[in-house]
Amino acid sequence: MSRSYLQKFKLLTGHVQNFLRISTFPPMATTRRKFIGHTAFSLSAWGLSPAAKAMDGNVPQRLRAVCVGGHPDDPETGCGGTLARLANEGHSVTIIYLTSGEAGIVGKNAAEAAEIRMAEARAAAKIIGAKPVFAGQIDGAGMVNNEWVDKLHELISREKPDIVFTHWPVDSHKDHQCASLLTIQSWIRHSRKFDLYFFEVCTGNQSMIFRPTDHVDITTTREQKKNAVFCHQSQDPQGIYASGSCNHALMENFRGLEADVPAAEAFIRAGQTLHFG
């Protein structure tokens, strides 16, 4: 039976006091002081810092992380820095793309666009250190039905994940919502045995009403993330980082300010595993 990521972290580092202190914080009712305390825990937990390792002499075991995104470039922009950190620290990372970006290139038909965008995604995943998987839905025609609940659950289960990332479901893009809802269904079918975190993309334009519970310092992997995003040449990567409708550079800076680090990615944690896992 798999344990939650935080249970494993507790076992690995023996930071029981930290765990208990954090687990008593209702995520949506934090004061700023509690929020920073929470963030500090998250940063150390996710980073498995050398100091923490040295303190108890334990070698962290290899965790298995999965990220489910609606289109090629979503996992990279939403949590590419975090995925790269996990991969760099020796953990296994798989990216599941719900669609292959069929509708994403003007002047190309669906098959041509998918071929280009899958190649871009493979290159991006290689930079991150992740294994790419293409689920087979069609860009712009995202579906949530019984067949796809089963299919995505099968793809996620195959990876035996400890941690899963997906879109925050309140999003203007239907495909992003589909990726999120199908992943939530799999989490429920797994009896919430893996830790589920929601990421944000193009906040304000796509992700909405996003109130983070956790931050990950991506200062050391920011360039790696950017290089991965820039593999998606068909998607105007410069615009992804600095346009009026999608400004991930600004988002990384702002989340960094919240966490008191130069650059961060933010997440909303599905909390059951933290409290009862």
**Residues forming the site for Zn ion (CB under 5 A):** 70-71, 74
- Rounded to a whole number of angstroms, the minimum distance from the CB of residue 129 to Zn ion is 22
Rank residues 76 and 159 by Cβ distance to Zn ion and give the closer one.
76
φ, ψ for residue 6 (rounded to 5)? -70, -35
Alpha carbon separation from 198 to 2, 157, 177, 189, 210 (Å, rounded): 20, 18, 11, 18, 9
d(CA 21, CA 23): 6
Residue sitting closest to Zn ion (CB): 71
Question: Which residues are bridge partners to 164 per DSSP?
Answer: 66, 196
Q: Which is nearer to Zn ion, 25 or 199 (CB)?
A: 199
* Placement of tokens 């299919």 in the chain: 151
Give the C-alpha distances (Å, rounded to integers) separating 54 from 7, 10, 44.
Answer: 19, 15, 13
78 within 8 A of 265, measured Cβ to Cβ: yes
Question: Smallest distance from the beta carbon of 72 to Zn ion, in angstroms?
Answer: 8
* Closest distance of CB 34 from Zn ion, Å: 33
Q: In the beta sheet, which residues pair with residue 195?
A: 163
CB of 165 to Zn ion, least distance (A): 14
- How far apart are CB 191 and Zn ion at their closest, in Å? 29
Q: Which is nearer to Zn ion, 82 or 92 (CB)?
A: 82
Is the Cβ–Cβ distance between 83 and 128 less than 8 Å? yes
Structure tokens at 27: 């995520």
**C-beta of 74 vs 214, nearer to Zn ion:** 74
Helix (H) or strand (E) holding 81: helix 74-88
Question: What is the nearest approach in angstroms of Zn ion to the Cβ of residue 74?
Answer: 4
| Nearer residue to Zn ion within complex by CB, 4 or 177 | 177
Cβ closest to Zn ion, residue 70 vs residue 212: 70
Residue 134 φ/ψ, nearest 5 degrees: -110, 120
Helix (H, G, I), strand (E, B) or coil at 136: strand
Among 93, 35, 14, 77, which Cα is nearest to 211's?
35
- Smallest separation, CB 139 to Zn ion (Å): 8
What whole-number distance in Å separates Cα of residue 166 and Cα of residue 30? 24
Name the residue nearer to Zn ion (CB basis): 42 or 206.
206
Supply the minimum distance, in Å, between the C-beta of residue 66 and Zn ion.
Answer: 17
- Please state, in angstroms and rounded to a whole number, the distance separating the CA atoms of residues 88 and 255: 22
Nearer to Zn ion, 74 or 159 (CB): 74
